[in-house]
Structure 1
Amino acid sequence: MDDFVRRTVSIDDVEKTVYVSGAGPAVILMPEMPGISPDVVRFARWIRAAGCAIYLPSLFGVDGAYPLAEARETVVRRACVSAEFRAFAGGGTSPVVRWLRGLARLAHAECGGPGVGAVGLCFTGNFALTMALEPAVIAPVVNHPSLPLDDPGGLEISDEDATAVAERVARDGLQVLAYRFEKDSWCTGQRFAAYRALLGDAFDGRVLDAETANPDPPPFFRDVVGCAHSVVTAHLVDQDGHPTLQARDEILAFLTERLRTRPE
């Protein structure tokens, strides 16, 4: 990650490491479980090449490492009991989202432009939506959101925040782009239906055939996740015309159109 600047960012007296790179309007890319893997970094570089400044916060795991199956015990269980996250039904909005909204305000102040993009992945998938309570966030992308872990049709959001998000989306004409694989047991069709019920036509949920997923992902995704899940990272196939690469291009187009960027 030598092409990123490692910064310590303090928001509301809470410090976190954030990797920053590129120029243009800002995009906050949140890592998937179990951390900032090389596949997440690759996706960050693609966003940067599309003409965006990338802000990649470290929220859990080992930065820059390929995720091993052992991360289930060392990272996942720790995150599930952390006060920053609400991994299970009934917990409401994860407190870490407040910090992420502050990061979006900071990034917008530093980079300018019409607003900020927010891209969530897996464990952080829904964070991109709840970050939209920050006015600077105008391009939310919700990728294969896995929380709450114990309710396949649930959304990781409090009732109050859900109402506020739906009002903001309707008032400002926001669109929410989302992806999942068919047969994904961590992000089900029931969950996408719940998003649609909350947001109506503003929710653009797209589903890829599970058979198109990378058949040889890193060990954590093979042994722990156990199904086609990570559309633009671990299960992406980097081949022209491939459905997962098309999904990546659609996300980049969504971000650049709303943030009005120019690719490198």
Structure 2
Amino acid sequence: MSVLDGWVLGEHTASGITHTTYRKGSGPGVVVISEIPGITDDVVAFAEEVVGQGFTVVLPHLFGRVPSPESPTAMIGSLRQACVNREFNKLRLRQTSPIADWLRSVARELHAELGGPGVGALGMCFTGGFALAMMVDDSVAAPVVAQPSLPFPLGKARAADLNLSPADLSRVKERAAAGCDVLGLRYTGDIAVGTRFETLARELGDAFIRVEFPGRKHSTLTAHRQQEGVDRVLAFFREKLLSG
């Protein structure tokens, strides 16, 4: 028996790129983008909770095995796979990862099919900032960034960078000023996040909702799960996508 039993296998193609997807639920759409090493049991368990709140969840498979073990070997293998993939910007400053176009397409298609105020988007760790990049598209109404870690925080500039091009950052700021809030979660001692929360607070002002926990752990919603964080995410999706 697989942890993904009951999830519908599919695929999505945009700009000549195709990735496998897993889908479950009913109601407004939420795209949950897994962290390294991939779609683990913990990621699926969190996604099931989102489904249980009345949402249609799509899990893109971008790297790793499905389901992925949470072992050091799996972590190293997925990281190696992601690091050679040109869809992800790992080190460049002020550049959006190319995978953002594909993810925005997923969100647009989901919103067109399901309707509602918009789609939720949640990224974790390696993919944390992708929810910001998806917010460039009007279909995304509830972006969540969980411990965003790209570009890798090598030096002060990268540690503060949001993995967005200047044009995309400008659009994100416009949407935030117009009322699209961004929810962010992290452990305060997590060096992988760098100083991005300070950048988000400066660039987005009150539209950036910070949820922070003490300590040096990392995965707020999965391996190092904080129930308060999970509850805040679920409440955020309900408020933004189910209201009215």
Task: Please give the TM-score of this superposition, normalised by the length of structure 2.
Answer: 0.93
Counterpart of 1:249, as a letter, is D
The aligned counterpart of 2:200 is 195
The aligned counterpart of 2:38 is 35
Contact 1:22–1:51 under 8 Å retained in 2: yes
Please give the secondary structure, in 2, of the residue aligned with 1:70.
Answer: helix
The aligned counterpart of 2:78 is 75
Contact 2:36–2:75 under 8 Å retained in 1: no
Shift of 1:78: 2.5
Aligned pair partner of 1:167 in 153, 159, 174: 174
The aligned counterpart of 1:231 is 220
Once the two structures are superposed, the pairs formed by residues 1-264 of structure 1 within 5 Å of their partners are 1-90=4-93, 92-149=95-152, 150=154, 151-171=158-178, 173-188=179-194, 190-210=195-215, 227-236=216-225, 244-260=226-242
The aligned counterpart of 1:218 is none
Q: Give the direction of change, closer, same or farther, for the CA distance of 1:186–1:165 in structure 2 (3 Å limit).
A: same
Map Cα deviations across residues 212-238 of structure 1 (whole Å, 9 max, x no partner).
xxxxxxxxxxxxxxx5000010101xx
Contact 1:131–1:137 under 8 Å retained in 2: yes
Q: Give the direction of change, closer, same or farther, for the CA distance of 1:122–1:13 in structure 2 (3 Å limit).
A: same
Report runs of 4+ in structure 1 exceeding 3 Å deviation: none
Separation in structure 2 between the aligned mates of residue 202 and residue 178 of structure 1, nearest angstrom? 11
Counterpart of 2:166, as a letter, is D
Shift of 1:73: 3.5
Shift of 1:121: 0.6
Structure 2 gap segments, 5+ residues each? none
Contact 2:94–2:161 under 8 Å retained in 1: no
The aligned counterpart of 1:216 is none
Please give the secondary structure, in 1, of the residue aligned with 2:64.
Answer: coil
For these two proteins, the number of residue pairs brought into alignment is 237
RMSD of aligned alpha carbons: 1.5
Shift of 1:187: 1.1
Shift of 1:152: 1.8
Identity rate, percent: 41
